[in-house]
Structure 1
């Protein structure tokens, strides 16, 4: 159900850095709200084939459902599953937006970090959980600091949005301990390297072509979280 609410947000957030969020459909009609399908009744009145203006709802809904199902299977009935299911749709939203315009909006990354730490803090008081909030906090600080250093070393290769995203993902991975943090981080760089290498081989990019790293950071964290949850 959460996946069906993402298309409109994807469209509104998918603007280049520095520009205001979209508040109109391609036909010039005002968009009300941030969640829901990306369809415009005003455009439908003009031409039926111009109703949709964003990503397809079935694709996002299916992807979100599959990701949540895998998280549920790995985490079982432990209480932290509620946190993973709440945060997973945000990860899908960030992935699609970053792929579209190479931007990770502060309006999503910073609340993600705050929500992860706050929710996991509550989960620590629930019986049968399998993680530690202290390690989650330290994981957020460690991964955020590491990415900040990489940003300072090579601003052209690491966006500051990735640094902010790393805070939230570090908290999620840190819940299950430092091996999970390291595994998720390694997987992120591996996925990014494989994607960049594939583009170079296909001659669709050069060695210095910038690629969005957010989707691979999220994918790596997802793999690390699945393994960490299953092994906990």
Structure 2
């Protein structure tokens, strides 16, 4: 049964991954710029100006813009398959599977332009908290909704303090993303929250060290934190699900 759920979750993740590239292309702009709805030459994407899902394909230029689909297909399948395999058939699994594509989208946008758009971070926080409240009412739920909400407040507060101390080293979008990740990690316990947050910083430090040692960056070079926050939180949720 668990193998079937894992396979279905992996297929779901792969399918959702196919839908993300256009959204990444449209959202990966500087804060003062509007969301992209056309290719660099000014042509409508795939003949639909308002579309958000699928490839960022231009019929006139006959090419795709933005990130390629295979990366998102693989990442979606891997993340969702792992979540299903480790968490098992529990109510919170549905929440993780719904939140995972948005987390991948945020990580990709942040990696592209060092920005975490409010249009994603704030609804994701509200949706995750609300859906976990519903999950907590179901049988066999393995976490605490109250602790999840408190975890979101605690982690966001820590990030806000770091932002206040050194605003050049952390963006306010990271603070908003921390709210969602704190809710997810807090669901399984304070130890999971601490582990997931620490892993995010550890992964960022390791990546920064690799860039410095390879000469691809200097001290003071801005590195997007969002992808590492998401990876750390994913590891934390997997640890929490495994322990539960």
Let me know the Cα RMSD of the aligned residues: 0.9
Of 54, 75, 83, the residue aligned with 2:87 is 75
Of 217, 230, 234, the residue aligned with 1:222 is 234
Corresponding residue number in structure 1 for 2:58: 40
With 88-97 and 17-26 compared, the bigger mean Cα shift is at 17-26
1:24 and 2:35 equivalent?
no
| Shift, 1:7, TM fit | 0.5
| Shift, 1:65, TM fit | 0.8
| Shift, 1:41, TM fit | 2.1
Secondary structure of 1:39's partner?
A: strand
Secondary structure of 1:52's partner?
A: strand
Structure 2, unpaired ranges of 5+:
1-14
Once residues 52 and 204 of structure 1 are traced to their aligned partners in structure 2, the CA distance between those partners, rounded to angstroms, is: 28
Residues 184 and 223 in structure 1, CA contact (< 8 A), matched pair in contact too: yes
Corresponding residue number in structure 2 for 1:148: 160
Once residues 78 and 123 of structure 2 are traced to their aligned partners in structure 1, the CA distance between those partners, rounded to angstroms, is: 24
**TM score, norm. by length of structure 1:** 0.95
Once residues 203 and 32 of structure 2 are traced to their aligned partners in structure 1, the CA distance between those partners, rounded to angstroms, is: 28
Once residues 67 and 219 of structure 2 are traced to their aligned partners in structure 1, the CA distance between those partners, rounded to angstroms, is: 30
Secondary structure of 2:33's partner?
A: coil
Of 112, 136, 144, the residue aligned with 1:124 is 136
Once residues 60 and 126 of structure 2 are traced to their aligned partners in structure 1, the CA distance between those partners, rounded to angstroms, is: 38
Residues 72 and 81 in structure 1, CA contact (< 8 A), matched pair in contact too: yes
**TM score, norm. by length of structure 2:** 0.91
Structure 1, unpaired ranges of 5+:
45-50
Corresponding residue number in structure 2 for 1:192: 204
Once residues 34 and 53 of structure 2 are traced to their aligned partners in structure 1, the CA distance between those partners, rounded to angstroms, is: 17
Alignment of 1:61-140 (within 5 A): 61-140=73-152
Once residues 70 and 208 of structure 2 are traced to their aligned partners in structure 1, the CA distance between those partners, rounded to angstroms, is: 28
Once residues 217 and 145 of structure 2 are traced to their aligned partners in structure 1, the CA distance between those partners, rounded to angstroms, is: 41
Once residues 78 and 31 of structure 2 are traced to their aligned partners in structure 1, the CA distance between those partners, rounded to angstroms, is: 30
Q: Deviations over 1:106-157 (max 9, x none)?
A: 0011111001100000001110110000000000000000000000000000
| Shift, 1:60, TM fit | 0.7
Once residues 2 and 112 of structure 1 are traced to their aligned partners in structure 2, the CA distance between those partners, rounded to angstroms, is: 16
Of 176, 183, 189, the residue aligned with 2:195 is 183
Corresponding residue number in structure 1 for 2:172: 160
| Shift, 1:26, TM fit | 2.1
Alignment length (residue pairs): 226
Corresponding residue number in structure 1 for 2:22: 8
Residues 5 and 35 in structure 1, CA contact (< 8 A), matched pair in contact too: yes
